[in-house]
Chain A
């Protein structure tokens, strides 16, 4: 049984070396495992909210479908922005692993920028809907729960995006100052991809399912 940490950390075929203590199983550092666990938990919170949405929508006979082409286009652009920001994140992680500090910081800022653009487009959309009379307790088209579900789900997601932007900028600054490591960049990337993934559910379930049929 190898006694050096890094050798055992490479996770040999020996079960003891993998799980026998004094080793990181599958060489997953603690911070990364911790972030994965957080993501699992947060995913369940989002799932619960989406479950509530589905439960109430299925029970409702008057769920409006108000999103016309401009809204869907806007949401599609938002999706594209978020996906692109995830690509930037991948490049940031890669650069950090290769030791390219300025490259990594640049890509991190680009990712955060993507998040900001997403937020701006989103808030513009919200303001538009509010202008049309949509509230958490009322809208001009159908059951009042439409607004409640819409603002709750997208609001919860937007909160995560905004927190992510701040998080990424902190990592960028810290990485540049050599306070944070490539691992920290990678861990923040996990969070960002998770936020993107959640949007991949919200986009079809909230927007496409409420697109105005001709």
Chain B
């Protein structure tokens, strides 16, 4: 016992019983699916909330069926109040950023596929993995609970700037219990993410099978590793910020509250704090967070484009280098959310430099994608369509960032729909396209069945056109100075833009309705879809060497050995245009 040999992998026996198999499972595949379905639930609710707020902007006096019954305070007679608009907007943002974009791309697909892709039986710490999921689930419960408390969810946005978020209910509805539940939810989410990040890093470093060098890992694994490092470092700061916020709200501290605040006629007792401090702490987390949301998508897209172009990724090492530099730079740019915050204008200049520099690796990656597709033999599966769509929308959204990166232009564009269009394009569209591409790609492996391709294509086409119709016009009205987070538009100068809002709302409703095709496909195919073979996409990586779905220990007790890089696609040899990573015969791997 004292000199226990250092085990690289632990082996566990197959679980029995419903609870151990499906509820409190330590199997990374089950946990990955649990995260994925948590994200599906969250994206559904978040999408419905987006419909509600967009409807309110365009038809503010509409009696929305069911809303009055759901929240008599927030929507008396079914007509949404201005405060409730902000409440629903807050939950929309929080759900989408945290419970969709920070779960499925990383903890969902990553948990499912990472161990198999590197030849491991499971993650390094399976019990910790299970705990991470259930802590995240608790966090979601706390957030959803805000919809059911009397005063509703907080009205302070997903960014929860104090003093609005810190002084309590005298500042507005939802800022009492709702804000407390929100802060608890986020703090719990931080813990779940930190534990998950730890697991991903140790797994990738320690559990790769023989022959799986770091440079032979699929790019998805690199993306998950870098995302995990970003999570480990950034959620730690958000956690501290949430603790301080909770203290300000409940223990009378004043980390974020200066003296002399007069709220609703009441002089507040606080003194000595700074609202800017929250912004620094929040955005130091917040900027890496958006890269946490997109980098897994970079990995999936690089991977999928290669598989369906039948070509290696144009510059594997370059992509790894770009991901690493994007990860590093993401910690240096947080002030670009704060150009107009009142912090020193000299810092404004300082932050805009790395913000513009980060364009370089992002551009290189985009060009690598184009270069990978160039000259290939493209197979237009639904997964590939979403991957191609990702390239398009990421370029569009990313270019919007070039304007916002400059403080001079931010003077006009800050707080307008230009910003809303930009971040929706990169997060609400590109990152989601990454999730779709991943879903259509790994579904056969995960469920042993194939998603219906025809429904998938319909889903893609309407969604692709639809998202441009929803989010491109936001840039246009942003140029006119249309402010964000407004529950209604009363200025004369803004009235001529209302038809644009109507157009966007209708596009959102149509595109949203289309997602039901996806949801239907997702669930129906689990039972009625055609059975999947082991390697339907003729892909080289390790998950395609095991049955669909894999046995509980992934490789059936056999330990894989890797001989090749992850992207050996190309010209036909013996009727095959690809070489499995585990193929002992074939071109020698370049060292």
B-binding residues in A (CB < 8 A): 3, 5-6, 9, 16, 19-25, 27, 29-30, 33-34, 37-38, 40-46, 48-49, 51-52, 55-56, 59-60, 96-99, 101, 135-138, 143-145, 148, 152, 156, 178, 181-183
> A113–B244 Cα gap in the complex (Å)?
30
B202 and A21 form a contact (CB under 8 A): no
A145 and B254 form a contact (CB under 8 A): yes
- Please indicate the chain B residues that have their CB under 8 angstroms from the CB of A52 in the complex: 240, 244, 255, 277, 281
Q: List 27 A-B contacts (CB under 8 A).
A: A20-B212, A22-B208, A22-B212, A24-B8, A24-B206, A33-B201, A33-B206, A34-B125, A40-B233, A41-B198, A41-B233, A42-B236, A45-B239, A48-B236, A52-B240, A52-B277, A55-B280, A56-B273, A98-B2, A99-B2, A137-B251, A144-B254, A145-B273, A148-B252, A148-B255, A181-B2, A181-B4
B233 and A99 form a contact (CB under 8 A): no
- Please indicate the chain A residues that have their CB under 8 angstroms from the CB of B212 in the complex: 20-22
- Minimal beta-carbon separation of B238 from chain A (angstroms): 9
Which of chain B's residues has its CB closest to A181's CB?
B4
Residue B6 interfacial (CB < 8 Å)? yes
> A148–B273 Cα gap in the complex (Å)?
10
> A42–B277 Cα gap in the complex (Å)?
20
Binary contact track B2-15/A, C-beta < 8 Å → 1, others 0: 11111010000000
Which of chain B's residues has its CB closest to A178's CB?
B1
- Please indicate the chain B residues that have their CB under 8 angstroms from the CB of A6 in the complex: 5-6
> A98–B2 Cα gap in the complex (Å)?
8
Residue B271 interfacial (CB < 8 Å)? yes
- Please indicate the chain A residues that have their CB under 8 angstroms from the CB of B277 in the complex: 52, 55-56
> A3–B8 Cα gap in the complex (Å)?
13
A-binding residues in B (CB < 8 A): 1-6, 8, 118-119, 124-125, 128, 194, 197-199, 201-202, 205-214, 232-233, 235-237, 239-241, 243-244, 247, 251-255, 269-274, 277, 280-281, 284, 559, 562
> A24–B8 Cα gap in the complex (Å)?
7
A144 and B271 form a contact (CB under 8 A): yes
Which of chain A's residues has its CB closest to B201's CB?
A37
Which of chain A's residues has its CB closest to B206's CB?
A30
> A34–B124 Cα gap in the complex (Å)?
9
- Please indicate the chain B residues that have their CB under 8 angstroms from the CB of A43 in the complex: 236
Interface centre among B8, B208, B243, B252 (most CB of A within 10 A): B8
- Please indicate the chain A residues that have their CB under 8 angstroms from the CB of B241 in the complex: 48
B205 and A33 form a contact (CB under 8 A): yes
Known: A20-B211, A44-B233, A183-B4. A137 touches B253 (CB 8 A): yes
- Please indicate the chain B residues that have their CB under 8 angstroms from the CB of A156 in the complex: 243
Known: A40-B233, A41-B194, A182-B2. A148 touches B211 (CB 8 A): no
> A136–B252 Cα gap in the complex (Å)?
6
A56 and B272 form a contact (CB under 8 A): yes
A60 and B272 form a contact (CB under 8 A): yes
Known: A41-B194, A52-B277. A143 touches B5 (CB 8 A): no
Which of chain A's residues has its CB closest to B128's CB?
A34
- Minimal beta-carbon separation of A8 from chain B (angstroms): 9
Which of chain B's residues has its CB closest to A145's CB?
B272
> A42–B4 Cα gap in the complex (Å)?
29
- Please indicate the chain A residues that have their CB under 8 angstroms from the CB of B232 in the complex: 37, 40-41
- Please indicate the chain B residues that have their CB under 8 angstroms from the CB of A21 in the complex: 118-119, 208-213, 562
- Minimal beta-carbon separation of B276 from chain A (angstroms): 8
- Minimal beta-carbon separation of A90 from chain B (angstroms): 17
- Minimal beta-carbon separation of B242 from chain A (angstroms): 10
A25 and B271 form a contact (CB under 8 A): no
- One of B207, B211, B237 near A45 (C-beta < 8 A): B237
Known: A29-B6, A44-B236, A138-B252. 9 other contacts (CB 8 A): A19-B214, A20-B213, A38-B194, A45-B239, A55-B280, A136-B253, A145-B271, A181-B1, A182-B2
Interface centre among B274, B284, B559 (most CB of A within 10 A): B274
- Please indicate the chain B residues that have their CB under 8 angstroms from the CB of A135 in the complex: 252
- One of A42, A44, A99 near B3 (C-beta < 8 A): A99
Interchain residue pairs A-B with the least CB separation, the first 3: A137-B252, A145-B272, A148-B253
A136 and B4 form a contact (CB under 8 A): no
> A60–B258 Cα gap in the complex (Å)?
11
B240 and A59 form a contact (CB under 8 A): no
- Minimal beta-carbon separation of A150 from chain B (angstroms): 10
Which of chain B's residues has its CB closest to A148's CB?
B253
- Minimal beta-carbon separation of B274 from chain A (angstroms): 6
Which of chain A's residues has its CB closest to B195's CB?
A38
Which of chain A's residues has its CB closest to B194's CB?
A41
> A56–B254 Cα gap in the complex (Å)?
10
Known: A45-B239, A56-B273. A30 touches B124 (CB 8 A): yes
> A156–B118 Cα gap in the complex (Å)?
38
B253 and A152 form a contact (CB under 8 A): yes
A30 and B202 form a contact (CB under 8 A): yes
B272 and A144 form a contact (CB under 8 A): yes
B8 and A23 form a contact (CB under 8 A): yes
- Minimal beta-carbon separation of B186 from chain A (angstroms): 14
Known: A19-B213, A145-B272. A34 touches B255 (CB 8 A): no
> A120–B197 Cα gap in the complex (Å)?
35
Which of chain A's residues has its CB closest to B562's CB?
A21
Interface centre among B1, B4, B232, B272 (most CB of A within 10 A): B272
> A152–B253 Cα gap in the complex (Å)?
9
Which of chain B's residues has its CB closest to A180's CB?
B1
- Please indicate the chain B residues that have their CB under 8 angstroms from the CB of A3 in the complex: 210
- Please indicate the chain B residues that have their CB under 8 angstroms from the CB of A40 in the complex: 232-233
- Minimal beta-carbon separation of A107 from chain B (angstroms): 15
A20 and B272 form a contact (CB under 8 A): no
> A33–B206 Cα gap in the complex (Å)?
9
> A73–B544 Cα gap in the complex (Å)?
65
- Please indicate the chain B residues that have their CB under 8 angstroms from the CB of A16 in the complex: 213
> A152–B251 Cα gap in the complex (Å)?
10
A152 and B244 form a contact (CB under 8 A): yes
- Minimal beta-carbon separation of B393 from chain A (angstroms): 33
Which of chain B's residues has its CB closest to A38's CB?
B198
> A23–B209 Cα gap in the complex (Å)?
8
- Please indicate the chain A residues that have their CB under 8 angstroms from the CB of B201 in the complex: 33, 37
B5 and A148 form a contact (CB under 8 A): no
> A24–B203 Cα gap in the complex (Å)?
10
Interface centre among A21, A24, A178 (most CB of B within 10 A): A21
> A55–B6 Cα gap in the complex (Å)?
45
- Minimal beta-carbon separation of B514 from chain A (angstroms): 40
- Please indicate the chain A residues that have their CB under 8 angstroms from the CB of B205 in the complex: 25, 33
- Please indicate the chain A residues that have their CB under 8 angstroms from the CB of B118 in the complex: 21
Known: A38-B198, A182-B2. A22 touches B252 (CB 8 A): no
> A138–B271 Cα gap in the complex (Å)?
9
> A99–B3 Cα gap in the complex (Å)?
8
> A148–B166 Cα gap in the complex (Å)?
15
- Minimal beta-carbon separation of A121 from chain B (angstroms): 23
- Please indicate the chain A residues that have their CB under 8 angstroms from the CB of B559 in the complex: 22
- Minimal beta-carbon separation of B222 from chain A (angstroms): 14
- Minimal beta-carbon separation of A143 from chain B (angstroms): 4
> A152–B247 Cα gap in the complex (Å)?
9
